[in-house]
Structure 1
Amino acid sequence: MNEQYPVLPGAEPFYAENGPAGVLLVHGFTGTPHSMRPLAEAYAKAGYTVCLPRLKGHGTHYEDMERTTFRDWIDSVEEGYEWLKERCGTIFVTGLSMGGTLTLYMAERYPSIRGIVLINPAIDIPAIRAGLAAGDELPRYLDSIGSDLKNPDVKELAYEKTPTASLLQLARLMEQVKGELERVACPILIFVSNEDHVVPPENADIIFRGVRSSDKEIVRLKNSYHVATLDHDQPLVIERSLRFFAKHSK
């Protein structure tokens, strides 16, 4: 699938080749690597080999996204995983929102992943299910879901419209991943904002209960909305995730 539009400035992928432990970072639905860039740079500075891909159909134009399927998004993440596997013996995955859904997918499929970090992960969004059940009544494009940030001085680089066809793909991805949560056995750290206007915070509890992992923890974020990676709690997310990697790299 060829994308018709150029990549938006700031939406480029990020790679850093450092030590033998690697981190794959996955951005969210309609978003771009921009939302995960501060984490990627912090992980690289800490000595990790880092791969932050741009998901297919993202970071260009919402018409590109409309033509992609959730399999295309999985392909993008798996390509990043293969890039890391060639360079690292230990691999962690960190995902925001739908990036968290895709991170869970990877943990379900690749038991060699050492641990995963989820940030406001999406697994069940009733509003999407209700909207899609309405069927033909929905317009082709809905409003943007980007930039749900408590910090008024920060803006997320995301699409200004959300293709309804892409929401259907997201719903299918969440349904598939939710149905196989018990396959996740690796250590898991979940960050969840107390107030989130995109993904219900209860998603974190559904995941926490559903995975088989014995080493699992939820960290509640009190000062961020959905895009916590760019919000007030960003330093906490970076510090706690680096601690998690260090603990499980041994």
Structure 2
Amino acid sequence: MTSAKVISGAEHFFFPGNSIGILICHGFNGTPQSVRYLGESFAAKGFTVFAPRLSGHGTDEFEMEACHYQEWIQEVETAFAELKKRCTNVFAIGQSMGGALVIDLATKVACDGIITINAALQVPDYEKYRNKSFPRFILEGKPDIKADNVKEIAYDRVPIKAVNQLLTIMEHTDAQLQKIICPFMLFHSPEDHVVPDSCSHHIYETVLSDDKELISLEDSYHVASLDHDKDYIIETSYRFIQKHTNQAKSVPLTSLTK
């Protein structure tokens, strides 16, 4: 099957920098565009930043329909491995489903720390479609962003098959929480109309990390990386990363392609 064309602006991005690598993972029905402001800001601070585009995202809903959640897991693991070749320290940041994916990642590799933004372990509006095959597509509402005049690249409808892949990865990740021991920072929006705020509290209370922080985003909805608190996320994450970094020389950098 021929791959659909990537929507302009939805491409993966890579910014070479110092020996500290940051992997940023977007959410379900999102693209790297939704986390690009974060990526550019971290790159401006000198970090090496990579945000992969997950399969089926940023092209069309028919390509998403053919995806399996194990592909998304593998793509995040591959992105981490690419950064690890170039960097001494690697941190992983994930928004929404991306939060679930970086939690899963941290059960398998030695992350120097993980940061989640409204990590998704439940999406109540999708529960009625669990194990269903009809309708084929589900209409999506406007992205959950408090700030005005902000655009997120996303499909107007998503396949029910993909929704069930999301439900599976969230259930899978929930079962892995007690394996998490690395430093962990969790951002959560008390007013989130997609993922219950209780998800972040549950994660915080369940993981076994000795160093963990739960931080409230009082002026943002679900897609906080594009909302009013995005600069607060960057500055607070920067302090977390600096705290958990051993300064070391990086190996020579080369361009990433995907």
- Give the corresponding residue for 1:234: 230
Q: CA deviation at 1:176?
A: 1.0
- Give the corresponding residue for 1:14: 13
Deviations 1:155-197 (A, max 9, x none): 1111111111011111111111111111110011111111111
The answer to whether structure 1 residue 45 and structure 2 residue 44 are counterparts is yes
Q: Report how many aligned residue pairs link the two structures.
A: 246
Query: Match for 1:131 among 129, 132, 136?
Result: 129
Deviations 1:12-52 (A, max 9, x none): 11101111110000000011000110111111111111111
The correspondence of residues 134-153 of structure 1 with structure 2, limited to 5 A, is 135=132, 138-144=134-140, 147-153=143-149
TM-score, scaled relative to structure 1: 0.95
RMSD over aligned CA atoms reads 1.3
Query: Match for 1:225 among 214, 221, 224?
Result: 221
Q: What runs of 5+ residues in structure 1 fail to find an aligned partner?
A: none
For residues 90 and 83 of structure 1, the distance between their equivalents in structure 2, rounded to whole angstroms, comes to 12
Q: CA deviation at 1:145?
A: 5.1
For residues 65 and 152 of structure 2, the distance between their equivalents in structure 1, rounded to whole angstroms, comes to 20
For residues 185 and 16 of structure 1, the distance between their equivalents in structure 2, rounded to whole angstroms, comes to 28
- Give the corresponding residue for 2:92: 93
Q: CA deviation at 1:109?
A: 1.2
Query: Match for 1:192 among 188, 192, 196?
Result: 188
User: Tell me, what secondary structure is at the counterpart of 2:18?
Assistant: coil
For residues 115 and 182 of structure 2, the distance between their equivalents in structure 1, rounded to whole angstroms, comes to 11
For residues 67 and 191 of structure 2, the distance between their equivalents in structure 1, rounded to whole angstroms, comes to 30
- Give the corresponding residue for 1:120: 118
User: Tell me, what secondary structure is at the counterpart of 2:24?
Assistant: strand
User: Tell me, what secondary structure is at the counterpart of 2:86?
Assistant: coil
User: Tell me, what secondary structure is at the counterpart of 2:30?
Assistant: coil
For residues 77 and 17 of structure 1, the distance between their equivalents in structure 2, rounded to whole angstroms, comes to 18
- Give the corresponding residue for 2:164: 168
Q: CA deviation at 1:129?
A: 2.9
- Give the corresponding residue for 1:75: 74
For residues 243 and 127 of structure 1, the distance between their equivalents in structure 2, rounded to whole angstroms, comes to 35
Change (3 A) 1:105 1:145: farther
For residues 3 and 63 of structure 1, the distance between their equivalents in structure 2, rounded to whole angstroms, comes to 11
**4+ aligned runs moved over 3 Å, structure 1:** none
The answer to whether structure 1 residue 158 and structure 2 residue 154 are counterparts is yes
Deviations 1:111-165 (A, max 9, x none): x1000010000013344333316x35x4111112562100121011111111110
User: Tell me, what secondary structure is at the counterpart of 1:93?
Assistant: strand
Change (3 A) 1:104 1:145: farther
